[in-house]
Amino acid sequence: MRKLLLLVLVLVVAVGALGYWRGWFSMSKEGVQVNAEKFKEDKAAFSKTVGEKTTALKDKVAGLRKTSEGLTGDEKAKAEKELVELEKKHDRLEKQLQELEQAGPDKFADIKQDLSKRLEEVEKKSEELTKKLEKKDK
């Protein structure tokens, strides 16, 4: 129970620090003032960037699928398995992007961090698969 309370406290402090640093709210003698427009701008910019990367990734996976069509046997099975894994990860990214659209300032930081990490992982996997398929093409 103590660990859960500590985790909640750390998350609250992290969201507060991120929000203050990004200008989502400010402190004054009158209290805390929320800048909803700044938060919306940051959220929209991040959503646009991730959306573009997600679309590019989908196109890349489709290209990799075409490239893998020429493979046979075990090579084709391995490539197909990796492509299915990439597609699942891509679908998860799209779901998280939808969650991001609905998120308020309290959940935005966590979703943004997780989404950035997952996107980086998927991009790395797709690059690895691209290199493997290029080697086998030669």
Alpha-carbon distance of 76 to 18, in angstroms, equals 46
Under DSSP, is residue 25 helix (H, G, I), strand (E, B) or coil? strand
- Is residue 126 within 8 A of residue 104, CB to CB? The reply is no
Residue extents of the structural domains in the chain = 36-137
**pTM value surpassing 0.75:** no
The model's pLDDT over 1-54, given as tens digits with 9 standing for 90+, comes to 788 788 788 887 887 787 777 777 666 666 666 677 888 888 888 889 988 988
Q: Minimal CA–CA distance to 86: which of 43, 108, 41, 54?
A: 54
Beta strands in 1-138 (DSSP E): 25-28, 31-34
Distance between CA atoms of residues 31 and 38, nearest Å: 18
Contact between 105 and 39 (Cβ < 8 Å):
yes
